[in-house]
Amino acid sequence: MEQKRSSFTGKIGFVLAAAGSAVGLGNIWRFPYLAAKYGGGIFLLVYILLSVTFGFSLMVAEIAIGRKTGLSAIGAYEKLNKKYAFVGYLGAIIPALILPYYSVIGGWVTKYLTLYATGGGSAAASPDYFGGFISSTWEPIGWFLLFIGATALIVLFGVEKGVEKVSKIMMPVLVVLSIFIAVYVCCMPGAGAGLAYYLIPNFENFSIMTVVAAMGQLFYSMSLAMGIMITYGSYMKKEVSIESSVHQIEIFDTGIAFLAGLMVIPAVFASTGAAPEAPGAGLMFQVLPTVFENMWGGHIIGAIFFLLVLLAALTSSISLMETVVSILQDKLRWNRRLTCLVVFAACLLLGLPSTLGYGVWANVKVIGMQFLDLFDFISNSVLMPIAAFFTAILVGYVIKPQSVIDEVELSGKFRFKKLFVVMIKYVAPVCMIIILLSSVLSAFNVIKI
């Protein structure tokens, strides 16, 4: 049931839309705490290396598949090869698993924005504030509801374009503000050690988990291995260059993640004098308020910052929900209102354990993880490597890299063609198997890494 597809007006339209999906909480909230947890500079180095090789190749492949078939993920895989249709379905499950807990974090951001906007910023800077907030039962649920409700309403009324327009103006402001905050943080007394930890790779901190975490983060941050970029590709015009668009999206996405790390990690060192102990999902919320507290005009800057993060989060959550809604609509032929309602209700149910996992269900652990980490683990460390593995096999050995190369070359020379072929045919499949095995075996404590 493919209607005539509308297309992005040009390259800039495509890049901004894809960047709107890619840049979100993954960059600002998730990247810094993973970098702090998995070795600082060595994580950053591995991440950047993976981004320009593996991330680049997979993104080119996905966009080309979308543009070549003119279909979104499920239809596209089916059209290329019937046996691989399951990869499309697998990809479709991933956004459905991410959206609920993404909205829990989106709720935290909304809470912090409100706090700063109503003059309560100082409270957020006290050391127990964040812990008290997330471990309470009802308040985080309320903010979660607000965030997921707003996302559902925007998707229901189809007003994404309006939000995206606003966020396109906000995106450059976010970059400028992040640079400003990062420079301020790096000048704080004691920040130097943090800067060194974040920027200088220390090979002693390297483990296979550094690679596993960096790879999961790469998928997450660039919206890869879940069919999203296939859908975006299906709207892309033939004369727009896939290769240079991918470079631009990557620079945007990795640049914002890098800046977020630069804001958060040195700030931890400046306030505690050492690397964060067991950094987790709360890192950004615990650290940045202490920075804003001491900064001139910090409360206003805090409010603007959380507003920008909220907008970035919304453009991403909209793209997650839109994907789930449109797949269900296509497959089940429900109307849009019913589909939105069902997806909203399902997200509520799936998101509740993630928020309660910080409070009344804090003792409930599944394979040693609380619910939010569990959802994060299943999608990023298990399902995405599987989807990426089969995408690489499909492109590398079934439809052959040449078909992607032909699609890319419709708009000019493919400069990194050789890199692409080697990555897709050899490196990606092997890496995916290693990553999948190590993450699963370590989660079940079979191996210690």
Where does this chain bind ligand PFF (CB under 6 A)? 21-22, 24-27, 95, 98, 220-221, 223, 226, 228, 316, 319-320, 323
Give the shortest CB-20-to-ligand PFF separation in angstroms. Answer: 9
Nearest residue (CB) to ligand PFF, 124 versus 228: 228
367 φ/ψ sector (left φ>0, alpha ψ -120 to 50, else beta): left
With CB atoms as reference, the residue minimizing the distance to ligand PFF is 26
CA dist., res. 112 & res. 298, Å (int): 13
Give the shortest CB-365-to-ligand PFF separation in angstroms. Answer: 25
Nearest residue (CB) to ligand PFF, 210 versus 316: 316
CA dist., res. 117 & res. 303, Å (int): 5
Exposed, middle or buried, 356 (CB in 10 Å: 0-12/13-18/19+)?
buried
Give the shortest CB-82-to-ligand PFF separation in angstroms. Answer: 25
Place of tokens 């497959």: 331
CA dist., res. 266 & res. 180, Å (int): 14
Give the shortest CB-441-to-ligand PFF separation in angstroms. Answer: 26
Q: What share of the chain is helix, strand, coil (3-state, %, to 5)?
A: 80, 0, 20
HSE on the CB side for 80, CA within 13 Å? 34
HSE on the CB side for 441, CA within 13 Å? 13
Nearest residue (CB) to ligand PFF, 98 versus 394: 98
Nearest residue (CB) to ligand PFF, 36 versus 314: 314
Give the shortest CB-323-to-ligand PFF separation in angstroms. Answer: 6
Nearest residue (CB) to ligand PFF, 229 versus 424: 229
Give the shortest CB-23-to-ligand PFF separation in angstroms. Answer: 6
Give the shortest CB-253-to-ligand PFF separation in angstroms. Answer: 7
Nearest residue (CB) to ligand PFF, 195 versus 224: 224
Are the C-beta atoms of 292 and 125 separated by less than 8 Å? yes
Measured in residues, the chain has a length of 449
CA dist., res. 121 & res. 167, Å (int): 24
Nearest residue (CB) to ligand PFF, 25 versus 378: 25
How does DSSP assign 125-188, residue by residue? TSTTHHHHHHHSSHHHHHHHHHHHHHHHHHHHHT-HHHHHHHHHHHHHHHHHHHHHHHHHHHTS
Nearest residue (CB) to ligand PFF, 161 versus 415: 161
Nearest residue (CB) to ligand PFF, 14 versus 269: 14
Give the shortest CB-25-to-ligand PFF separation in angstroms. Answer: 4
CA dist., res. 277 & res. 272, Å (int): 10
Give the shortest CB-136-to-ligand PFF separation in angstroms. Answer: 25
Could you tell me the sign of the dihedral formed by the alpha carbons of 159, 320, 144, 309, in that order?
A: negative
